[in-house]
Structure formats: C-alpha cells, structure tokens
Homo-oligomer: A and B are copies of this chain.
Amino acid sequence: MAISNTQTPSAPANRDALLSELAAALDAAGLQTGDDIETRFRKDWYAPLDPEPPIAVARPRNTAEVSAVLAICHRHRQAVVPQGGLTGLAGAATPAGGELVLSLERMRGVEEIDDQAGTMTVMAGTTLQAAQEAARAAHWLLPVDLGARGSCQIGGNIATNAGGNRVIRYGMMRDQVLGLEAVLADGTVLTSLNKMLKNNAGYDLRQLFIGSEGTLGVITRAVLKLAPLPASTQTALCALSRYEDVVQLLRHAQRKLAGRLSAFEVMWADFYELVTTRVSGVRAPLPAGHPFYVLLDLQGDDAGQDGPVFESMLETAMEAGLIQDAAVATSDKEAQRFWQLRDAVAEFPVMWAPNAAFDVSLPIGRIGEFAQALRAAVLDRWSEAELVNFGHVGDSNLHVSVYLPNVALPDFPEHEISEVVYRVVQEFGGSISAEHGIGTHKKPFLGCSRTPEELAVMRLLKRTLDPHHILCPGRVVDLE
C-alpha cells in the first residue's frame, strides 16, 4: 500500500532558499541533501519506501536547532517528518517524497538521574536500552521494555505511547512521563521538565504530544519516572483449558501477588504449536494440546519471601481447577527459555511471510470470544488461512497474525484482511491499535474505533496546533 498523502503542503516556492536557511541553522553534519541522503532515513520498520526521496534530512544537535528547523519549515510550508529509531510498525516516520526528515538521533544522552526525586532527564534521541542501562547503573528501573529496545528512541517511545511486556504493573510510556519538552510546528518551545508526581497547575499539555505520533509537535526531552529495581523474579508457564479460566487466573494472581504481578502473557494453542514446532531453539516446557498457555512473572525484592507466595498462588489456582498443568522456572536461564516462547514472534516476519499482523485491544472478558469470531470470519473468506493469537491479555491487548499459504507478496490481500479483522474489532467494541499507533497503515480504519465527533475534535486539535499542516501530514487523522 502506498502512502496516501494528499495533504502534503505544496512544494515550497523556493526550494533553494529553504535549503540554504536550513544549512545556516545547522552544522555541517546537520543537513543531508540530494545524493548525500542516506537510505536508512527513507523508511521505518513498517512502511514501503517512497520512490521519491525526501527533500533533505535535518539532524539537529539540540532543542534550539529543532526550533530553528521547524520555524523555517513553518514559514516555507515545508512538510516535516520527525524520526526516532525507525522501529515503528504503523508507518508514521516514513517520509513521502519531498518531505523533510527531522532525525533526533544526534540528541542523545541522559542529562540527569535525580536519585532523590526518582527521575531521569533524557534527550529524545537516546535509545531505550541506553536509558534502561543508565537507570540500572543507578539502581533504578526504567520499566517500559520492548523488543526494539536497542534501536528505538525515547522520543519515539513517547510519541507512540509505547507499551510492551510490563504494562500490567507499570503502565505505558504515558505513565512514565513526568515532564516533557516539545517544539510546536511554528518553532515555539514548550519546556516543562517537571519532576513531581502531582502537578495540577493548569492544563496537562504533556498529553497532547504523548501518543500523537509527531503530528502535534516534536518531543526533544523528557523527565521519566523511575521505579525501584526488583531484586528477584519468579516465572511460570501454565496450561489452561478455557478462556474464562485465563481471566480468573489473572484476577487470582493480581490479588495473591499484591502489586508484584509483572507480566501476564497469553498464548493460544495455535501460537504455542507454531513456535514450539517451527522456531529453531524453542523448546516446549509443557506438552502441546492445551487450549491456552499463560506466562506470568512476579517481580519482588526477596526470592526467599516471594517464591513461597508465587507457588502458593499457583497451587490454589490448580486446586480451584483454573490451571491444568504448570512449570515454574527454577533458574534465570529456565525463565529465559520460557520467555523465548513469547519472544519467538520476532521470527514471524521471516518464517511466515507474508503475514498480516494486528495489534488490537478489547475488554478483557471478551477476548476469548473475539478470537473465535475472528477465526470464523477470516476462514469464511480465506478457507486456507492460518491464524495465531497471543498477547498481553492482562492489559487487554491481543496480537493476531494471519498467514495465507501459497500467496506471494504482491498478491497478499493485506487491506482486505484488515477490513475483516477491524469489522470484528468494531463489533466487539475494541480498538484497532492497542500499542502500535495509527500512522499511515491504520488510518483508513480509525473510524472503526472512534466516533465521528471524536475524529472531528482530533482534526480541530491538529488544525489549531499545526495550522499549515506541516507536521507528519497524512498521518493518524485526515483533515477532511
């Protein structure tokens, strides 16, 4: 699918003037134009390459340079696409031909860890992993974690409100952001590097930039909340026979582990069979054939106290008939083996290509029924289709992958599969994006999860904060 981008502002009247103003505002390494533009800036993880190159790549070193670049582009009506680590799955950071790439990659580094406040002040271009490691070195936990940690950047994590495996305990990226610095489309710098957990002094402007995928402003710095570093982890894999039992186990574990349940990942039988038989190096800790598998973690301070609590929770669940079988990891290495099951999704794009991958959310009680309805709807249309279901069910988040054997990429009907999936999502009152965002990829389906009145207010906000529509035009929400 090509980027449908009818809303790009028309090319600036004076391209040479634009480029020379940008060159004057940046250092020599700060601007790439023409044949000097590196290919890596031309697409993110999801989106197909636009055959037309961007007009330039700006690589500012600090907030003042970001502000200068945006002020120039605002004046010239030049479309701008901010870029973090380019690991997004919805296409928001892939430049259409003629757009300006604004890469934050040179703005990296942890400016401060305030050990008393329990906060980290970090530049937007810092990778998630670098920020996690800096926190850990200071005996703190930066809890948001996801597979792309080595490449994705804090600014992108905030702009897309990233989720991951620890949301059930710590919340999403939105919940980690105490303070934010962002630059508006016209170059205005909004600096609010707040370190307080409570601050009700006027409107909470941070929220405009968290999860809006770069369409309302460019994030340059943030103050993140840190959590105490857990000293012990208990991990188990359980087999269950009914989705109702999955939900009951979730509530049982939340009660019994009292604040320490740190992951609750569910794999349907289809997923478990696929990864244990087809992904090399993945072993099955429990026999296949159970309808559901739950991978869950307790993170606490003391294995001597936590181990018995964890095992008692599993025993009472087994006595109540919620769990059919269970394996408790007896070492960190074994826990990592359990997690390999879940992390095997990273192999899907290679071993099961092409497939259509979905990131939806639904009320927790309805996910089991939804998965059945979705399978029926997909098979009704493509009888040869294969589906797998897995996800952060404790956070109401389901991932679904749909594969059509013997269909090669050019003929793969991704849009048609999306239509079927999102129709069922809409019937169940769900969201078409739990954690990946909308970008260009899911924009045609936004109306499945939001009302016309909500879409109208989104457009109103976009027009208000970016009147010339230069920031990420054509992403998230259309103006008409």
- Interface set, chain A 396-441, CB cutoff 8 A to B: 396-397, 429-438
Interface string of A219-252 (1 = CB under 8 A from B): 0000000001111000000000000000100010
- Bound-complex Cα distance A116 to B449 (A): 21
Q: Is the CB of A301 within 8 A of B256?
A: yes
| B contact residues around A258 at 8 Å (CB) | 228, 230, 259-260, 299-302, 306
| B contact residues around A451 at 8 Å (CB) | 190-192
- Would you give the shortest CB distance from A395 to chain B, in whole angstroms? 5
| B contact residues around A117 at 8 Å (CB) | 363-365, 396
| B contact residues around A190 at 8 Å (CB) | 451, 453-454, 457
Q: Is the CB of A211 within 8 A of B204?
A: yes
CB of A201 closer than 8 Å to a CB of B = yes
This protein's copies in its complex: 2
Q: Is the CB of B450 within 8 A of A196?
A: no
Tell whether A361 pairs with B446 under 8 Å between CB atoms, given A194-B431, A210-B204, A228-B251. Answer: no
- Bound-complex Cα distance A446 to B200 (A): 10
Interface 9-residue window, one of A102-110, A149-157, A167-175, A346-354: A167-175
| B contact residues around A116 at 8 Å (CB) | 247, 363-366
Q: Is the CB of A200 within 8 A of B191?
A: no
- Bound-complex Cα distance A228 to B252 (A): 9
CB of A255 closer than 8 Å to a CB of B = yes
Tell whether A365 pairs with B114 under 8 Å between CB atoms, given A201-B432, A211-B203, A300-B259. Answer: yes
CB of A77 closer than 8 Å to a CB of B = no
Interface 9-residue window, one of A45-53, A273-281, A380-388, A458-466: A458-466
Residues of A in contact (CB 8 Å), total 97
| B contact residues around A260 at 8 Å (CB) | 258-260
| B contact residues around A372 at 8 Å (CB) | none
Q: Which of A196, A204, A211, A434 has the most CB of B within 10 A?
A: A196
Task: Give the residue name and chain of the B residue nearest to A115 (CB).
Answer: B365
Tell whether A196 pairs with B453 under 8 Å between CB atoms, given A204-B210, A460-B464. Answer: no
| B contact residues around A175 at 8 Å (CB) | 171, 175
Tell whether A198 pairs with B361 under 8 Å between CB atoms, given A169-B259, A203-B211, A203-B458. Answer: yes
Interface string of A175-195 (1 = CB under 8 A from B): 100000000100011111011
- Bound-complex Cα distance A195 to B395 (A): 10
Task: Give the residue name and chain of the B residue nearest to A457 (CB).
Answer: B205
- Would you give the shortest CB distance from A177 to chain B, in whole angstroms? 12
CB of A392 closer than 8 Å to a CB of B = yes
Of B189, B300, B433, B454, the contact of A200 (CB 8 Å cutoff): B433
Q: Is the CB of A434 within 8 A of B251?
A: no
| B contact residues around A305 at 8 Å (CB) | 305, 309
| B contact residues around A365 at 8 Å (CB) | 114-117
- Bound-complex Cα distance A434 to B172 (A): 22
Jot down 28 A-B pairs with beta carbons below 8 A, ordered by A. A114-B365, A117-B365, A161-B200, A175-B175, A195-B429, A196-B362, A196-B363, A196-B395, A197-B397, A198-B395, A198-B431, A199-B431, A200-B433, A200-B434, A200-B438, A201-B433, A201-B446, A201-B449, A202-B450, A203-B208, A203-B476, A228-B251, A228-B258, A256-B301, A258-B260, A258-B300, A258-B302, A259-B260
Give A residues with C-beta under 8 Å from B.
Answer: 114-119, 160-161, 163, 167-169, 171-172, 174-175, 184, 188-192, 194-205, 207-208, 210-212, 216, 228-231, 247, 251, 254-260, 299-302, 305-306, 309, 361-366, 392, 395-397, 429-438, 442, 446, 449-451, 453-458, 460-461, 464-465, 476-477
| Given A116-B366, A118-B364, 13 extra CB contacts under 8 A | A195-B363, A195-B396, A199-B449, A200-B438, A201-B431, A201-B450, A202-B449, A202-B458, A203-B477, A207-B207, A231-B255, A258-B301, A305-B309
